Amino acid sequence: MNTLTFKPYAQKLRFDDDTMWVGLTDGRCLGVPYQYFPKLAAASAEERSKYIISGGGIGLHWEDLDEDISVEGLLLGIGDRTKQNIL
pTM of the predicted protein model: 0.83
Query: How confident is the model at residue 1, as a pLDDT?
Result: 54
Task: Kindly report which listed range (2-11, 13-22, 35-44, 76-85) carries the lowest average pLDDT score.
Answer: 76-85
Who wins on pLDDT, 11 or 7?
11
Question: pLDDT-based confidence at 7, cuts 50/70/90?
Answer: confident
The pLDDT tens digits for 28-62 are: 999 999 999 999 999 999 999 999 999 999 999 99
First to last CA, the chain: 27
47 in helix, strand or coil? helix
CA distances from 50 to 27, 65, 66, 83 (A): 23, 9, 11, 24
14, pLDDT greater than 60: yes
Structural domains in the chain?
10-75 (3.30.2020.40)
Mean pLDDT for the stretch of residues 15-38: 95
Return the bridge partners of 21, or none.
14, 31
Cα–chain-centroid distance for residue 48? 11
